[in-house]
């Protein structure tokens, strides 16, 4: 459980059981209300379920069971995923008093065991202030997708992004720029119901609010088909938006490709944004992209890069590689193109054991410092590339992510996923070179793990590496500003 999750757990276990008793009644009293009319207890969400009997439902951050128990009374098999032991106690006692059963998985939702729950549910359901606890919407939606069986449906209802700029629900939450990506500390949901002296003692939570497009793009990017996006008026002012409900389905067949390059003309263009750092932050999206070489003209790709402000392109290929297949942005108006050729890494090593040492040698070359300097000094966003976007690009990516405090596992994962993006092209190459160890060509996690060990042994820290490479503290700070904000 990471520090954010521990903080949320502390907040949601502060007097939570007694709070529910005071505001929702004892478990026996609440159970009687649930039994009397479970459909009424579902309120507007009943409209999003076409049946209940036998439906396997994952209730994400299901809290005290206020929706899980009515669903179970209607015949659903409900599993609540929630972080609070107090919530669990109240929910299970209420379910027992109602004469029904729910399962309750206690822990960080993002650490859900997919070996147990992956592909298990017919419906994933959440409502009323869930998304803001999860600071990486793409990772969260990928988990929701993984929980569902093919053909399963996600019902995601939450506070409307309009509440970022106006507290239309009167929840006493701070307003901010609609486009802010800030993670901020704020009071847990029930703090406003306490006397000021107690209120000050309640642990805070760490929140991240989203735009409409961030939510929709995370849903689509996870592989879902978005069926509808409904907006609901505020319960305080019906002329303003207060909540939304997104309904999406995991396709039953012909699922879209999970590993899709960000550019139509390449195989392995990816964003260094979206990675969790050891300080609890998330690297910013659409600031630094890594890629295989863009060598095919595509106007839509060029327009996308311009619209995002990614207008510096750094080509790490050798003279011969670039002459054989020129980069399409070399002479394109509106783009600043630089070539910083790495000769080391342009051909595969002879054995898997050589790869980490080769990567360390690449990182130690003046060219690596030149690339980092160019990234730091670039105006706006940057795309850097080599032939396949795996080795030379992988080393630069590892250095940048490490500079921004990314967890080493995130660095390894970012490297290793190249094998999925490049699989088709590299399988063709391997078929033509049958004597090459396929683990060298298809990115192997152990290679990057060992490189990071070698790097720490040689340099000690990323700060020491920058200093020994002739880079300044301002170069390091500039890269951090670019990717961390």
Distances (CA, A) of 211 to 1, 19, 231: 27, 31, 13
Residues 6+ positions from 216 with CB-CB distance below 8 Å: 226, 229, 246
For the residues 364-384, what does the mean pLDDT come to? Answer: 97
- Of the pLDDT bands very low, low, confident and very high (cuts 50, 70, 90), residue 282 is confident
Distance CA 80, CA 57 (A): 8
Predicted confidence at residue 255, as pLDDT, reads 45
pLDDT exceeds 80 at position 254: no
What tokens does 441 get? 């060509």
Q: For residue range 289-304, what is the model confidence (pLDDT) as tens digits?
A: 999 999 999 999 999 9
Predicted confidence at residue 89, as pLDDT, reads 95
Q: Which residue has the tokens 């298809």?
A: 442
Q: Are strands 270-271 and 241-249 parallel, antiparallel or unpaired?
A: unpaired
Q: Which of 359, 326, 322, 323 is nearest to 344 (CA)?
A: 359
| R_g of the chain, CA atoms, integer Å | 25
pLDDT exceeds 70 at position 48: yes
pLDDT exceeds 70 at position 256: no
For the residues 345-355, what does the mean pLDDT come to? Answer: 80
Q: In what order do the strands lie in the sheet with 148-159?
A: 103-106, 77-82, 56-60, 121-126, 148-159, 241-249, 225-233
Percent of the chain with pLDDT over 70: 99
* Residue-averaged pLDDT of the chain: 91
Domains in the chain with CATH codes: 3-249 (3.40.50.150), 270-484 (3.90.190.10)
Q: Are strands 270-271 and 288-292 parallel, antiparallel or unpaired?
A: antiparallel
| Biggest CA pair distance of the chain | 77
Q: Which of 382, 403, 188, 405 is nearest to 278 (CA)?
A: 405
Q: For residue range 408-421, what is the model confidence (pLDDT) as tens digits?
A: 999 999 999 998 89
Percent of the chain with pLDDT over 90: 66
- Of the pLDDT bands very low, low, confident and very high (cuts 50, 70, 90), residue 346 is low
pLDDT exceeds 60 at position 253: no
3-state secondary structure the chain: CCHHHHHHHHHHCCCHHHHHHHHHCCHHHHHHHHHHCHHHHHHHHHHHCCCCCCCEEEEECCCCCCCHHHHHHCCCEEEEEECCHHHHHHHHHHHHHHCCCCEEEECCHHHCCHHHHCCCEEEEEECCCCHHHCCCHHHHHHHHHHHEEEEEEEEEEEECHHHHCCCCCCCCCCCCCCCCCCEEEECCCCHHHCCHHHHCCCCCEEEECCCHHHHHHHHHHCCCEEEEEEEEECCCCCCCEEEEEEEEECCCCCCCCCCCCCCCCCCCCEECCCCEECCCCECCCCCEEEEECCCCCCHHHHHHHHHHCEEEEEECCCHHHHHHCCCCCCCCCCCEEEECCCCCCCCCCCCHHHHHHHHHHHHHCHHHHHHHHHHHHCCCEEEEEECCCCCHHHHHHHHHHHHCCECHHHHHHHHHCHHHHCHHHHHHHHHHCCCCCHHHHCCCHHHHHHHHHHHHHHHCCHHHHHHHCCCCHHHHHHHHHHHHC
- Of the pLDDT bands very low, low, confident and very high (cuts 50, 70, 90), residue 281 is confident
**Is pTM beyond 0.85 here?**
no
- Of the pLDDT bands very low, low, confident and very high (cuts 50, 70, 90), residue 278 is confident
Select the more confidently predicted residue: 165 or 30: 30
- Of the pLDDT bands very low, low, confident and very high (cuts 50, 70, 90), residue 188 is confident
């Amino acid at each position: 459980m990471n520090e954010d999750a521990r903080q949320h757990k502390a907040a949601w276990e502060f007097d939570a059981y007694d709070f529910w008793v005071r505001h929702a009644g004892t478990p026996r009293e609440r159970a009687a209300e649930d039994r009397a009319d479970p459909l009424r207890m579902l309120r507007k969400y009943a409209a999003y379920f076409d049946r209940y009997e036998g439906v396997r439902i994952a209730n994400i951050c299901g809290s005290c069971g206020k929706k899980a128990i009515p669903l179970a009374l209607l015949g659903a098999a409900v599993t609540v995923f929630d972080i609070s032991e107090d919530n669990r106690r109240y929910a299970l006692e209420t379910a027992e008093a109602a004469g029904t059963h729910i399962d309750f998985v206690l822990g960080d939702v993002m650490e859900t065991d997919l070996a147990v729950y992956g592909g298990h549910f017919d419906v994933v359901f959440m409502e009323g202030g869930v998304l803001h606890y999860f600071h990486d919407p793409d990772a969260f939606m990928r988990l929701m997708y993984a929980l569902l069986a093919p053909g399963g449906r996600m019902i995601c209802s939450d506070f409307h992004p309009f509440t970022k700029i106006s507290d239309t629900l009167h929840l006493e939450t701070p307003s901010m720029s609609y486009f802010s990506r800030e993670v901020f500390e704020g009071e847990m949901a029930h703090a406003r119901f306490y006397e000021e002296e107690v209120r000050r003692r309640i642990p805070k939570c760490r929140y991240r609010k989203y735009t409409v497009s961030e939510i929709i793009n995370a849903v689509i990017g996870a592989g879902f088909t978005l069926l509808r996006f409904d907006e609901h008026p505020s319960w305080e002012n019906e002329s303003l938006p207060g909540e939304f409900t997104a309904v999406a389905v995991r396709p039953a067949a012909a699922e879209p490709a999970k590993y899709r390059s960000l550019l139509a003309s390449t195989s392995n263009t990816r964003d260094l944004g979206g990675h969790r750092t050891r300080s609890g932050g998330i690297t910013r999206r659409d600031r630094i992209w890594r890629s295989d070489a863009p060598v095919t003209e595509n106007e839509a790709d060029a327009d996308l890069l311009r619209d995002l402000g990614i207008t510096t392109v750094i080509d790490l290929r050798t003279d011969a590689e670039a002459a054989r297949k020129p980069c399409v942005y070399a002479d394109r108006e509106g783009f600043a193109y630089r070539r910083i050729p790495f000769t080391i890494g342009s051909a595969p090593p002879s054995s898997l054991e050589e790869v980490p040492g080769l990567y360390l040698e690449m990182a130690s070359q003046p060219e690596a410092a030149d690339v980092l300097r160019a990234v730091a000094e670039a105006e706006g966003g940057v795309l850097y590339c080599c032939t396949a976007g795996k080795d030379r690009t992988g080393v630069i990516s590892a250095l940048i992510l490490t500079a921004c405090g990314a967890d080493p596992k995130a660095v390894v994962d970012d490297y290793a996923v190249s094998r999925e993006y490049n699989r088709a092209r590299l399988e063709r190459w391997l078929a033509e070179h049958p004597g090459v160890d396929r683990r060298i060509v298809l990115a192997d996690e152990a290679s990057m793990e060992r490189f990071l060990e070698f790097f720490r042994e040689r340099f000690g820290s990323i700060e020491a590496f920058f200093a020994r490479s002739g880079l300044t503290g301002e170069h390091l700070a500039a890269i951090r500003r670019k990717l961390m904000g």
